């Protein structure tokens, strides 16, 4: 059986974007704090554009589950 679940979680998406941006800023060694902050801000600003294929309005995600195949796939945002 295939079915879709739509999840709405603006805080979860935003928190995840912030975590990803912070991890990107923390990865390089030897950077000044101001450089890390600039990286974090830029990544955080650019990520919503990069995920809009799957995340609608920065809060809706639809997952299609196929119980026969044992798979779950994030659907493109409509």
Copy the structure tokens of residue 63: 């997952």
pLDDT for the residue 21: 97
3 sits in which H/E element: strand 2-8
pLDDT for the residue 78: 84
Compute and round to an integer the Cα radius of gyration of the chain: 16
- Count other Cβ atoms within 10 Å, centred on residue 21: 19
> What does each of the 78 residues of the chain score in pLDDT, given as a tens digit?
999 999 999 999 999 999 999 999 999 999 999 999 999 999 999 999 999 999 999 999 999 999 999 999 999 998
């Amino acid at each position: 059986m295939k079915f879709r679940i739509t999840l709405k979680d603006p805080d979860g998406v935003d928190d995840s974007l912030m975590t990803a941006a912070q991890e990107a800023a923390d990865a390089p060694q030897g950077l000044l704090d101001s450089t890390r902050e600039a990286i974090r801000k830029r990544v955080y600003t650019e990520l919503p554009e990069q995920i809009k294929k799957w995340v609608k309005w920065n809060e809706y995600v639809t997952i299609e589950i196929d119980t026969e195949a044992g798979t779950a796939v994030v659907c493109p945002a409509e």
